[in-house]
Amino acid sequence: MSKLFISCALPYANGPCHLGHLRSTYIPADIYARFNRMNGVDTVMVCSSDEHGTPIAVRAEQENKDPIDIATYYHKVIEDDLKACNISLDSFRRTTDELHYEMAQDFFKTLYDKGYIYEKKIDQLYCDTCQRSLPDRYVEGICPYCDSEARGDQCEVCGRHLNPTELKEPHCLICDGTPHVQQSEQYYFKLHEFEEPLREWISNNDHLSSNIKNFAKEWIKDGLKDWVMTRDMNWGIPVPLEGAEGKVLYVWAEAFVGYQSSAGAWAKEHGLDWKEYWDDKTVHFIGKDIIYHHTIFWPSMLMGHDWKLPYSVVGGGYLSLEGQKMSTSRGWVIWVKDFLEKFDSDLLRYYMVINAPLSKDTDFSWDDFQRRINNELTDNLGNFIHRTFTFTNKFFDGKIPEPGRYDEIDKEFEAKIKALPDTVAEKIEEFEFRDGLLEIMTLTKEANKYFNDKKPWKGVKEDIESAKTCLYLSNQLVHELAVILTPYIPESAQKIREVLSMPVENVKGFTEFDERGPLVKWDESKEFLEPGHEIKKSKPLFKKIEDKVIKEEKDKLYALEQAEEEKEKDKKEEKNMSEQISIDEFGKVQLVVGQVKEAERIEGSDNLLKLQVDLGDEIRQIVAGLAKKYAPDEIIDRKVIVVANLKPAKLFGVQSNGMLLATDSMELLTTEGNVGEYIK
């Protein structure tokens, strides 16, 4: 039996799932997994919560909590969200699990022992207030390429991968201070050595879609640079080397291994070998924002291990909301839990697939959601199924009739019914999930026309043979739909099977080990039910969504956005208030006129100058972040304003006994006053 390893991108354990997560990653992966299981492929689908990312550490510091507490809480929240959407994962683990630590450290150590990892001194940002090096996500600033606001690791506007030292106007997320550049020893992966094999793999892999290939090729075009694998942090997996104390594996150096460690934990529980699945066929389902991680970084790491590369990487496009980019910070988002309080998960699954090809960005619109559910699921699919069941019960005592004679319309309709399973299967195998669903919906639309043209309600009185054939073929299509819709809308498909008096299976997430061989097989869709098969009485499968329900959701969305904006405004005002000081406090600050006598750069720093400043009765040594604005000889003899009663501090290992006043742009505040004169 062939085996299949499916992985879903690891969600950061610092928040719940929103609709964008489901659209790009988890629903497509679930469709593919369910389809393969139905075709007898021994499939394992895995995921883990990503718990070492700096966003979690940042949030923990901002909330004065331990990172593990935040990760534990949101691991459960995410698990509940995925289960509620019937994502049939076999294994959902955590990157804080002991097995993951072991496998991630072993993965790194193997690459190190094979000579693919080396030490290198680099510039990184250091926050004097927090007294530590700042990992990328601890820094925000302006993107040097498109001038948009950006994180220290990536600009979400232009998509560039960034180094925090590249940012313009960087600031620390914890204290809002301006960090300076300082050198640190880190471990690098020799990514450049894999440039040619990566180019070959990407170019010759027919299973990668064009959008994935084009994105990856752009990265390789300018040449690959070696990739930093470690960070100076406490939160994370310790680097397993002597002399690397205080350093942890960069989250992207260990998160990939989360696929394997999740499978490893599952396999260990059931006495299996996870690598047998990996070595047969592996497919990664991810979001568009991490395509380069999975087509550049991860394959090169696998090459370094001499392991088999993935069969394919499937990257889902972005989901906007009502024409605007989603933003959790300003409340412009729909959380999965909130959505499911009003609507069935199958409605979400249907809309997320039918709305656009997975490779393209798309938009969630409440009005369009209502239109598609009402017109397509209710009036098209649901209407055909309900009419078929109703007329079978009304005119044929709830049993599929023996077909009568066939005319050309009947023959054409039957041919389309028989061709549909293979057509849909081909689309799913090629990761064209929307196209497969469109094939289904197109035929159900034609089926409604067929039903109307044949008029079985008249035929039972005027042409019973025609009516029998119509209801016979219509029930065959409904039975087929109950099978081939299972990967797409599993709960609805099982409701159809129940009316058809067919065995019904548990399709809720997650997948129990003894349920891995599904009850419903894909080839069952190609088998016609026998005449006389019993059809139970039924209710409409889907209900129309009323205008008032959509209005409520839109009003709630805009109200949440406004509330978040007000909250952010209050935070800024509160911050401004907290930064204000009383006249008495200001009176304690001693401002003295000084004159710079000596100035020199501090070795290893691009930002700091060491100054000797004459305050009249003494010479003070002061470290100032002026090196990018002034050369040392430009500042000598200038009269400056010095905060003289500041506590001494060490900056870049150099003692500083005071502070010079300057603007945000590092323009010195100068004076014509006398040296040693106090400013009042």
Closest by Cα among 330, 292, 251 to 160: 292
CB contact set of 104 (below 8 Å; sequence gap of 6+): 95, 237, 249, 253, 254, 257, 261
Q: Does some domain include residue 575?
A: no
Where does a domain end: 489, 505, 526? 526
- 447 with 485, same domain: the answer is yes
| Cβ neighbours, 10 Å, residue 586 | 10
CA atoms within 13 A of residue 648's CA, in its CB half-sphere = 8
Tell me the DSSP string of 230-242: EEE-SSSPBP-ST
Task: Round to whole Å and give the CA distance between 179 and 248.
Answer: 21
pLDDT value at position 350? 98
Return the HEC string of 378-406. Answer: HHHHHHHHHHHHHHHHHHHCCECCCCCCC
- 210 with 83, same domain: the answer is no
Q: Does some domain include residue 187?
A: yes
- 510 with 382, same domain: the answer is yes
Where does a domain end: 345, 374, 409? 345
Q: Residue 669's domain is classified under what CATH number?
A: 2.40.50.140
CA atoms within 13 A of residue 583's CA, in its CB half-sphere = 1
pLDDT value at position 517? 83
- 265 with 224, same domain: the answer is no
In which domain, by residue range, is 646 found? 586-679
Q: Residue 296's domain is classified under what CATH number?
A: 3.40.50.620
Q: How long, in residues, is the chain? A: 680
CA dihedral 357, 359, 361, 366 (to 10 degrees): 30
Closest by Cα among 645, 647, 599 to 623: 599
Task: Round to whole Å and give the CA distance between 209 and 358.
Answer: 10
3 state SS of 650: strand
How far lies 663's CA from each of 170, 638, 641, 666, 671, in Å?
15, 16, 12, 5, 14
Task: Round to whole Å and give the CA distance between 590 and 611.
Answer: 19
The domain total for the chain is 4
Where b means 16+ CB within 10 Å and e means fewer, 107-120 reads bbeebbeeebbeee
- 81 with 177, same domain: the answer is no
- 257 with 175, same domain: the answer is no
Q: Does some domain include residue 546?
A: no
Task: Round to whole Å and give the CA distance between 80 and 84.
Answer: 6
Q: Does some domain include residue 513?
A: yes
Q: What is the pTM of this model?
A: 0.82
- 392 with 509, same domain: the answer is yes
Q: Residue 157's domain is classified under what CATH number?
A: 2.170.220.10
- 239 with 264, same domain: the answer is no
231's tokens: 């960070």
Residue 444 has what DSSP assignment?
A: H
pLDDT value at position 574? 63
Q: Does some domain include residue 543?
A: no
Task: Round to whole Å and give the CA distance between 283 and 472.
Answer: 40
- 297 with 235, same domain: the answer is no
When computed from its CA atoms, the radius of gyration of the chain, rounded to whole angstroms, is 32
Q: If 0-12 CB within 10 Å is exposed, 13-18 middle and 19+ buried, where does residue 269 land?
A: exposed
- 230 with 268, same domain: the answer is no
pLDDT value at position 59? 82
Tell me the DSSP string of 350-384: HHHHHTS-TTS-EEE-HHHHHHHIIIIIIIIIIHH
pLDDT value at position 251? 92
Q: Does some domain include residue 545?
A: no
Q: What is the mean pLDDT of each run of 10 residues along the chain (680 residues)?
A: 96 95 97 97 97 85 90 97 97 98 98 97 85 80 86 78 86 86 92 96 94 90 92 92 93 96 97 97 96 96 97 96 90 95 97 96 97 98 98 97 96 98 98 98 98 95 96 98 98 97 93 86 97 96 97 92 71 62 79 92 82 92 88 91 87 84 81 82
Q: Does some domain include residue 559?
A: no
CB 510 within 8 A of CB 87: yes
CB 457 within 8 A of CB 388: no
Where does a domain end: 526, 552, 568? 526
Task: Break the chain down into helix, strand, coil percent, rounded to 5.
Answer: 45, 20, 35
Q: If 0-12 CB within 10 Å is exposed, 13-18 middle and 19+ buried, where does residue 665 land?
A: exposed
- 449 with 429, same domain: the answer is yes
- 125 with 97, same domain: the answer is no
Q: Residue 522's domain is classified under what CATH number?
A: 1.10.730.10
